Amino acid sequence: MHLVKHRAYEFGVRGVNPDAITFDLAAAVARKDAIVNGILSGIHDALRKNKNITFLTGHAEFTSPVDIRLDGRQITAEKTILAVGARPATVDIPGLADVGFITNYEALKLERLPASMIVIGGGYIGVEFAQMYARFGTKVMMLGRAPRIMSHEDEEISVALAEVLRAEGIDLYTSAPVLRAEFEGDEKVVVAQIGGEEQRFKAKEILFAGGRVSRVEGLSLEQAGVELSRDVIQVVDTLQTTMPNIWSIGDANGGAMFTHRATYDGPLSALNAVRGLKKKVDYRVVPRAVFSEPAVASVGLTEREAREARHEVKIGKHLFAHTGRAKAIGQTEGFVKIVADMKTDEILGAHILGAHADILIHEVVAAMYNHGTAEPIAKSIHIHPTLSEAVKSAAKAIGSAPMIRTGE
């Protein structure tokens, strides 16, 4: 939509009137639903066809460490693996429940495009949905409580992405905690505190993107002896809970709430539960991505985190604006940044803002897995012209980077 409406002319496309291009949200949602339902059907069919699996659906809750009630049916399980995931965080903004709001779940089911939308939250969910609806044609206002969006990411990444979002027309405010919500006529109003003063924002729809929390309600975990720690399921590095016959994986344990992290947990918990192998998780190299455009992808420590961990660090950086393939596809925003230890040359982290960052990050992920350095990336031959050359150039820059001492 964005490419055709705003940039096609740049690539030589003629005969298209950008003002005549419209967006059919219902059609896009229907396509999304078909893809998701196809994936789910494939998973469920595989479960049902496996003779070693009894696949049941319903509301499950513990009645003892070995007993589970499923919609009134009693099941006894010598061992249990919890894979209960997470849910949107509870809303604690006065008036918001009365005014009405949607979460990312409902935002993927809308069939009519809102004329305007307020996005509350500056994390990855807020960023992705704010940009998505802004590109669809909705007037978007985004309110983040923290001083910068994506506050857990590298500071340079956050600042650069905020500039991209504002350039696309999103009214983005940081250090803007929301105080309350109310009606004004037929419009919804969100009141935020900005610069010590109250400021009012009006829109037809409000999207609450205030993070996600462990989905532990209604499981009667206390009946099983499974304890929580800061509202997430308490596990050790073998994914065993406080009960020796119960394990837990994924989002419900807190930390990095990503599907690929849960996918990593699954086989380990199964091997530990079934074979008693006591395999331990290693989350040192868990990549993460934000599917904005340009995309954000990261792994390991940020520059600030590395310094706070008392590393003497050196930085290798390369701009996509200096990469041939990025110029050819017209996506020159962003950069690759690699953080390495000065003494050992070991890569401590990498951070990418740019086209296909979610794909490019894996070159560094593979290097970090065995505590590798940037040298193999810098010296290996990369196809030209590709975006991966930006990763190589950042790795090469590590070799000539000055040391940044702790505290500098």
- Which sequence positions are flagged as catalytic? 384
Residue whose tokens read 């792994």: 299
118 to 36, 145, 146: CA distances (angstroms):
27, 14, 16
Tokens of 361: 């990050």
CB 64 within 8 A of CB 78: no
Give the number of other Cβ atoms within 10 Å of residue 101's Cβ.
Answer: 19
**Residue of 109, 114, 112 whose CA lies nearest to 24:** 112
- Name the β-bridge partners of 203: 188
**Exposure of 266 by Cβ count < 10 A (0-12 exposed, 13-18 middle, 19+ buried)?**
middle
Residue 130, amino acid: A
Cis check: omega of the bond before 18, within 30 degrees of 0? no
Q: Return the sign of the alpha-carbon dihedral for residues 207, 210, 214, 216.
A: negative
Greatest Cα pair distance in the chain: 68
What DSSP assignment string belongs to 273-297?
Answer: HHH--------TT--EEE-SSSEEE
Q: How far apart are CA 176 and CA 181, in angstroms?
A: 14
Straight-line distance from the first to the last Cα atom of the chain, in angstroms, rounded to the nearest whole number:
44
**Residue of 296, 267, 249 whose CA lies nearest to 122:** 296
**Residue of 348, 366, 360, 257 whose CA lies nearest to 300:** 348
CB 372 within 8 A of CB 346: yes
